[in-house]
């Protein structure tokens, strides 16, 4: 047995540290700079309700995704001394996806003994630098937790498939079940992954069907029934814990099931079948060129290699399973009319892992081919890192960024500070009540969270004439302008991309604001 040299031992460790540092750097740098997104603000409100004992928080199966995001965010906010809605900060909330996105990069480390350090380091580098994954690792939504739990579950399924002892299989099944349950507790779309993985497993099973001695449904069930039952039990318990608030609200378990039948999606998100493929694979120029095509090409190479006659790639059936699962995810999400960019986080993590596996067996390649492969790996990682910098920096809230879906305009960030400045020198509560007229006004409540008296109306009511500040969404702006023509000053603002909001300040406050300061 050849003993590795200190350099051979240290080099992989240093490479893993380097990839993790790349991931952490891009996910945590200036984490609170970008304005809060529509969905981030609603998630923050749910988290605040969970932290308030008087709110009687319960999972809402009609409008909310799973409870895991707010359950994880609550203790982080408490640790930072933020236990109320006004005291919450973007940084504390965004720590959740940033940590999840960083941990996601380490998942391929579990596969290193099966496929080697280089393929798994490549997969980790693609996960670390992907503009899609970096961008949504900096947004307080469910997707990055789902991606982490999903890739962990997939990895544990793969570990189970290659385990030889019953104990190892049972442990892998239990852990896979727990992560599957956490996926369920994160978001109802976990069912798409279950469908994709089940279909992939069926295809792999059928490819072995001619060997009936070792591959038949009856023999398979007899061999795997105990681990399967362990996995399903673990999944049920781990998901039920969060939906029932630690088993204190048994009805939450039923709500978790009901959500598949009564959940209501927002309007305006229907896209063409090719939306995701065009977003990730087809280069598109919008100020700069946006694309993640190289990863898709490398993933395709991995798929082809795994299906070549006489392929000698280690664990080829596992790679085929991953290939089918990657395509299955993309196909199912593409068939669904409702589409948003962040829904691709978990499917794209599959493709990044598959792209890394295109380097399988690199230690057997000729030296020139090894050198070329490493250059490709470095070039792809560098290109993706550069795009990630643009996506999270200059174009973080720019509609030309394909990942900045309906971004909040930076203009609205100044509202909270401006109202605070306006309140100085006045009696407490003089800037209240505040009225918000119209619909689709999030994330505006996040920027008004310092105020206690805020009313929300779909149409203007007579009471808004007495309000110190009124915000009107586009569909209500004309009616509000006519009603407040003589009592308020109009101050146009921009809430989200191509969504203006009219701000009306009562004239007595406006006159005081315009008065010159006395020396």
What does the DSSP assignment read for 207-246?
Answer: HTTT-TTT--HHHHHHHHHHHHHHHHHHHHHHHHHHHTTT
pLDDT number for residue 120: 96
Instruction: Tell me: do 70 and 117 sit in the same domain.
Output: yes
Residue 212: is its pLDDT beyond 60? Answer: no
**Sign (positive/negative) of CA torsion 399, 402, 405, 410?**
negative
Give residue 2's pLDDT band: very low, low, confident or very high (50, 70, 90): low
Which pLDDT belongs to residue 519? 47
**Residue 131 falls inside a structural domain:** yes
Predicted confidence band of residue 211 (pLDDT cuts 50, 70, 90):
low
Distance CA 506, CA 516 (A): 18
Last residue of a domain, one of 392, 426, 453: 392
Q: Is the pLDDT assigned to residue 203 strictly greater than 60? A: yes
For residue 405, tell me if it sits in a domain.
no
Same domain, 324 and 354: yes
- pLDDT score of 10 more than 80: yes
Q: Cβ distance 96 to 136 under 8 Å?
A: no
Q: What is the pLDDT of residues 321-347, one digit of tens each?
A: 999 999 999 999 999 999 999 999 999
Q: How far apart are CA 409 and CA 82, in angstroms?
A: 25
More confident residue, 6 or 495: 495
Query: Is 60 exceeded by the pLDDT of residue 172?
Result: yes
pLDDT more than 90, % of the chain:
66
Instruction: Give the per-residue pLDDT at 496.
Output: 87
Beta-strand pair 454-457/434-437: parallel
What CA–CA distance (Å, rounded) separates 45 from 69? 12
Most confident of 51-55, 395-399, 495-499: 395-399
Whether residues 382 and 436 share a domain: the answer is: no
The answer, yes or no, to whether residue 214 has pLDDT greater than 70, is no
C-alpha span between 185 and 242 (Å, rounded): 6
Q: Flag whether pLDDT at 371 surpasses 50.
A: yes
Q: What does pLDDT average to over the chain?
A: 90
53 half-sphere exposure, CB direction, 13 A CA radius:
0
Environment class of 261 (CB within 10 Å of its CB; exposed 0-12, middle 13-18, buried 19+): exposed
The torsion region of residue 246 among left (phi > 0), alpha (psi -120 to 50) and beta comes to left
Distances (CA, A) of 161 to 83, 178, 198, 314: 44, 17, 14, 13
Q: Is the pLDDT of residue 180 over 80?
A: yes
> What six digits make up the tokens of 403?
């990942």
Q: pLDDT confidence of 3, banded at 50, 70, 90?
A: low
In a domain, 451, yes or no: yes
**Closest listed residue to residue 448, CA positions, set 425, 405, 419:** 419
Percentage above 70 pLDDT, the chain:
94
Out of 22-26, 59-63, 387-391, 402-406, least confident range? 59-63
Among 188-192, 208-212, 509-513, name the one with the lowest average pLDDT.
208-212
Does residue 385 share a domain with residue 414? no
Averaged over 82-110, what is the pLDDT?
A: 96
Q: Are residues 143 and 185 in the same domain?
A: yes
Do residues 498 and 509 touch, judged by C-beta distance below 8 A?
A: no
> Which pLDDT belongs to residue 378?
96
495 occurs within a structural domain: yes
Q: How confident is the model at residue 432 (pLDDT cuts 50, 70, 90)?
A: confident
| Residue at 397 is within a domain | no
* Same domain for 486 and 385: no
Looking at per-residue pLDDT, the higher value among 364 and 145 belongs to 145
Query: Which residue range(s) make up the domain with 433?
Result: 410-514
| Domain shared by 180 and 51, yes or no | yes
**In this predicted model, which residue has the larger pLDDT, 425 or 398?**
398
Tell me: the pLDDT tens digits for 461-483? 999 998 999 999 999 999 999 99
Q: Does a structural domain hold residue 468?
A: yes
Q: How many other CB atoms sit within 10 Å of the CB of residue 20?
A: 17
254 and 323 part of one domain: yes
Q: Write down the pLDDT at residue 269.
A: 87
pLDDT of residue 425: 66
- The pLDDT, as a whole number, for residue 221 is 67
Confidence of residue 429 (pLDDT cuts 50, 70, 90): confident
**Spatial separation of the C-alpha atoms in residues 401 and 37, rounded to whole Å:** 14
- Region of 287 (left: φ > 0; alpha: ψ -120 to 50; beta: rest) is left
Calpha distance 320→120 (Å, rounded): 16
Establish if 60 belongs to a structural domain.
yes
CA atoms within 13 A on the CB side of 27: 30
Confidence class of residue 236 from pLDDT cuts 50, 70 and 90? very high
> Rounded to two decimals, what is the model's pTM?
0.93
**Pairing, β 454-457 against β 488-496:** unpaired
Are 121 and 219 part of one and the same domain? Answer: yes
Rounded-to-10 torsion of CA 70, 71, 72, 74:
70
> Could you tell me if 375 and 466 lie in one domain?
no
Q: Are residues 424 and 467 in the same domain?
A: yes
Contact partners, residue 508, CB within 8 Å, separation at least 6: none
Q: CA–CA separation, 81 vs 74, rounded Å?
A: 11
* pLDDT tens digits along 21-51: 999 999 999 999 999 999 999 999 999 999 9
Find all residues with CB under 8 Å of 234, minimum gap 6, and list them: 173, 174, 175, 176, 177, 178, 180, 181
Give residue 428's pLDDT. Answer: 66
Q: What's the average model confidence in pLDDT over 51-58?
A: 84
Report yes or no: 443 and 420 within 8 Å, Cβ to Cβ. Answer: no
Count CA atoms closer than 13 A to 490's CA, side-chain side. 16
Domain count, the chain: 2
How many angstroms separate the CA atoms of 453 and 298, rounded?
55
Asked if residue 446 and residue 385 are part of one domain, the reply reads no
pLDDT of residue 422: 83
For strand 434-437 and strand 469-472, is the pairing parallel, antiparallel, or unpaired? parallel
pLDDT at 210: 58
- Is the pLDDT assigned to residue 290 strictly greater than 60? yes
267 touches 337 (CB < 8 A): no
Distance between CA atoms of residues 384 and 382, nearest Å: 5
305-323 burial, b at 16+ Cβ within 10 Å, e below that, comes to bbeeeeeebebebbbbbbb
For residue 41 the two structure tokens come to 């603000």
Lowest mean pLDDT among 10-19, 131-140, 421-430: 421-430
Quick check: 435 pLDDT over 70? yes
- Cα 343 to Cα 357: distance, rounded to the nearest angstrom: 23
Give the residue among 328, 341, 337, 189 at the shortest CA–CA distance from 273.
337
């Amino acid at each position: 047995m050849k003993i590795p040299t200190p350099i051979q031992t240290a080099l992989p460790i240093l490479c893993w540290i380097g990839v993790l540092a790349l991931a952490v750097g891009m996910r945590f740098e200036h984490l609170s700079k970008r304005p809060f997104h529509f969905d981030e603000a609603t998630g923050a409100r749910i988290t605040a309700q969970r932290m308030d004992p008087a709110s009687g928080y319960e999972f809402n199966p009609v409008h909310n995704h799973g409870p895991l995001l707010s359950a994880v965010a609550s203790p982080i906010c408490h640790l930072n001394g933020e236990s109320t809605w006004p005291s919450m900060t973007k940084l504390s909330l965004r720590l959740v996806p940033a940590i999840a996105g960083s941990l996601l990069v380490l998942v391929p480390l579990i596969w290193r003994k099966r496929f080697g350090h280089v393929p798994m380091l490549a997969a980790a580098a693609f996960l670390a630098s992907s503009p899609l994954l970096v961008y949504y690792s900096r947004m307080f939504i469910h997707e990055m937790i789902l991606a982490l739990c999903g890739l962990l579950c997939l990895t544990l399924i793969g570990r189970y498939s290659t385990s030889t002892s019953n104990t190892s299989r049972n442990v892998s099944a239990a852990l896979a079940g727990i992560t599957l349950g956490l996926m369920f507790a994160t978001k109802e779309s976990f069912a798409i992954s279950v469908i994709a993985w089940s279909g992939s497993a069926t295809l792999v099973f059928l490819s072995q069907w001619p060997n009936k001695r070792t591959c038949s449904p009856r023999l398979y069930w007899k061999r795997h029934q105990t681990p399967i039952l362990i996995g399903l039990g673990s999944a049920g318990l781990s998901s039920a814990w969060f939906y029932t608030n630690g088993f204190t609200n048994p009805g939450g378990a039923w709500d978790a099931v009901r959500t598949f039948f009564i959940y209501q999606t927002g309007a305006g998100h229907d896209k063409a079948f090719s939306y995701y493929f065009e977003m990730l694979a087809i280069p598109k120029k919008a100020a700069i060129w946006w694309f993640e095509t190289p990863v898709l090409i490398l993933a395709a190479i991995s798929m082809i290699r795994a299906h070549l006659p006489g392929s000698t790639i280690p664990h080829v059936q596992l790679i085929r399973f991953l290939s089918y699962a990657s395509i299955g995810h993309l196909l199912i999400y593409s068939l669904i009319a409702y589409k948003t960019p962040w829904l691709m986080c978990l499917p794209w993590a599959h493709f990044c892992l598959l792209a890394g596996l295109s380097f399988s067996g690199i230690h057997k390649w000729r030296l020139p081919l090894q050198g070329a492969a490493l250059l490709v790996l470095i070039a792809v990682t560098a290109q993706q890192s550069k795009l990630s910098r643009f996506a999270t920096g200059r174009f973080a809230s720019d509609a030309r960024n394909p990942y900045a879906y309906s971004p909040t305009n930076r203009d609205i960030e100044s509202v909270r500070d401006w109202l605070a400045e306006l309140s100085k020198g006045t009696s407490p509560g003089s800037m209240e009540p505040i009225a918000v007229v119209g619909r689709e006004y999030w994330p505006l409540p996040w920027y008004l969270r310092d105020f206690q008296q805020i009313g929300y109306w779909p149409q203007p009511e007579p009471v808004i004439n007495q309000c110190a500040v009124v915000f009107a969404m586009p569909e209500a702006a004309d009616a509000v302008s006519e009603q407040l023509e003589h009592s308020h000053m109009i101050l146009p603002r921009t809430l989200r991309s191509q969504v203006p909001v009219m701000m009306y300040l009562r004239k007595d406050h406006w006159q005081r604001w315009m008065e010159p300061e006395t020396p």
